[in-house]
Structure 1
Amino acid sequence: MIIIIRNEGTDMLFEKLETSTVNVMLDKFAVKELIEFERFCRDNALWDQMHECYTKDSTVTVSWYKGDGHGFVNASSKMKTVAPHKLNNTLVWLNDGKAAAVCMASIQTRKEINGVKMDLTSYVRLVYTIVKEDSHWKIASMEAIYEKDCLIPASPEDMKPNPNSRDSYANLSKVIGSDGYEIDQDLAGDDRPELREALLARVENWLVNSSTKM
């Protein structure tokens, strides 16, 4: 059972959201886009762009870091563990040039422990304060409320994938391949950075060149 203790002065975060004007809608979208882009930068090592998401005096408090926002970006760039984020719903409350937001998310990490590939999934609610600076929204603080986590083998012992399968979709290859389908082993994936970057470059080229075909 989850018990939420509400203190005086915090009622605004529990009020029904109202999007009464186009400007409110646009500001809410901009805040949501900022949150998603900051996490996208974190997952794709876009460190310069990630710095731009934070105010100069921003703060971050998460499991492994507590300090200023730009220090968080620098520390993230040095991490050896890959931990991509999957974002779900994001709620945004506005008050003049300030915003508070709550983003439901999961953080996924694959790590070999005692010779076994394990998947760690942490479920969190990311809580943000965001301010408008010169018409641009920026993150003033980010903190996490931790809900639960789970640690499971990447593959059941009796369903080990073919050792020649790609790590990014080895289990998919095993399951779908068992139905007789031939699985392409040259698809874009994080385990083949050259294929991933080629795909992204092709899409970017299509976006900026009107005569280019995919």
Structure 2
Amino acid sequence: MSTPFGAQVPSPTTTKLFNGPDKDKLDRLAIREICEGWPCHRDARNWRAYRSMFTDDAQVFTTWSAGKSIDDFISASIAGFNRGERIMHAAMGCSVELGANSKRAVGILKTCIDQRFELEGEKGGKVEVDAQCLNRFCFFCEKNEEGEWKVAYYKVIYEKDRLIPVDPRKLPKVRSPAPSLVTHPRLHARSSPHRSTTPSSLASPTATATSATASRSSATTSCSTSLSRRDRSTRSSTKR
């Protein structure tokens, strides 16, 4: 369910986030261990420990893997490592929302994903950059008959990303975004749909000049349209 920008997301009123009896605290601690086990075990390629965190039929959803069963996700991850891909995770903080019956829970882990790439350099050649993304790992957990918590479904919400040159003297080549790309809805309401999202500090002089020319052209067109409407209104009023 989508909500307006800035709106409070609907949340159950019977879940348990803090305090409570010791058994609730222990449940939340057990779930937190599972959430923090994702970056620890996956980055270390400890697949046995990693697999033990999930139910038999668990589903994992990420951008690069889409929806996969946990076993298919692990197989794809191993294949990526064998190709030389290195995706690192840094855990920042964890919050656990325990269901009223203490049988289900949702764990939210704030993390940063880091992966290194080679891109075309501003002055030719290749440059190395670190792509980092701040996000929320969402773990939908359930307690089995043995009293153990397991992840039944996992999904990541990407919130913010950045591109950092490994050598600050070597920058990647920055291209102006295509006109079809739009800005964030909050900004789009008060800006041109063709406004560049490239930071001014990274945009080339040519791209900046082109953007400025487009803005002036847009303003001129808007002004001409407004004057034309006013002229038609004046002529109509004169006829009456």
Asked which structure has the greater CA Rg, the reply is 2
CA distance in 2, matches of 1:20, 1:57: 31
- For structure 1, the residue ranges without an aligned partner over 5 or more in a row are 159-214
Report Cα offsets for 1:169-208 as digits up to 9, x if no partner.
xxxxxxxxxxxxxxxxxxxxxxxxxxxxxxxxxxxxxxxx
Query: How do 1:1-214 and structure 2 match up within 5 A?
Result: 2-4=5-7, 6=9, 10-12=10-12, 17-65=17-65, 66-79=67-80, 80-95=84-99, 96-114=102-120, 115-133=126-144, 134-157=146-169
The 3 A distance-change label for structure 1 pair 99 and 63 is: same
- On the 8 A contact 1:119/1:154 being kept in 2, the answer is yes
Report Cα offsets for 1:53-78 as digits up to 9, x if no partner.
11011111111111112211121111
- On the 8 A contact 1:69/1:141 being kept in 2, the answer is no
Report Cα offsets for 1:131-153 as digits up to 9, x if no partner.
11212111111101111111120
Tell me how far 1:2 sits from its aligned partner. 4.6
- On the 8 A contact 1:103/1:125 being kept in 2, the answer is yes
Report Cα offsets for 1:33-85 as digits up to 9, x if no partner.
11111321110111122111110111111111111122111211111311110
CA distance in 1, matches of 2:41, 2:133: 19
CA distance in 2, matches of 1:13, 1:126: 22
Larger RCO: Structure 1 or Structure 2 (Cα < 8 Å, ≥ 6 residues apart)? Answer: 2
Runs of 4+ off more than 4 Å: 13-16
CA distance in 2, matches of 1:60, 1:108: 19
Identity over the aligned pairs, expressed in percent? Answer: 26
SS at match of 1:81: coil
Tell me how far 1:18 sits from its aligned partner. 2.5
CA distance in 1, matches of 2:157, 2:163: 19
**Superposition TM-score, scaled by structure 1 size:** 0.67
| Pairs aligned (count) | 155
Match of 1:183 in 2: none
**Superposition TM-score, scaled by structure 2 size:** 0.60
- For structure 2, the residue ranges without an aligned partner over 5 or more in a row are 121-125, 171-240
The 3 A distance-change label for structure 1 pair 16 and 139 is: closer
CA distance in 2, matches of 1:138, 1:15: 18
